[in-house]
Structure 1
Amino acid sequence: MTHTFAMPSTIMTLGAQAMEPWAMGHSIGNLLTQIHALVDTHLSHPSTYRSIVPSTLDFVPALDAYLAHQRAVDGCTLPMPYDYQNTTDRKTRASRRRFVARYSRMLEAEFKRTVLEQLSSIFQDWSVEQTRLFNKGVDKAVCGIQWVAYPEENVAMCAGDGDWATWLKERCDELGMREFGAGRKALEEI
Structure 2
Amino acid sequence: MYSVKGQTVDVVAHSMGGLIVRAALAGYAQGDPTWPKKLLVEDVVTLGTPHKAAWLGALCLSNLQCQEMYYPNHAFRRWLGPNLQQAQGGTDWTLISSNADFSVSAGNGAPTDVGAQHLVRYSERANLDHAMLRTVRTGVYPLRYTNNGGAWGSLTRGAAPLRAAMNALYWHNRW
Q: When the two structures are superposed, what TM-score results if normalisation uses the length of structure 1?
A: 0.29
Name the one with the larger strand percent.
Answer: 2
Q: When the two structures are superposed, what TM-score results if normalisation uses the length of structure 2?
A: 0.30
Name the one with the larger helix percent.
Answer: 1
Higher relative contact order (Cα pairs below 8 Å, separated by 6+ residues) = 1
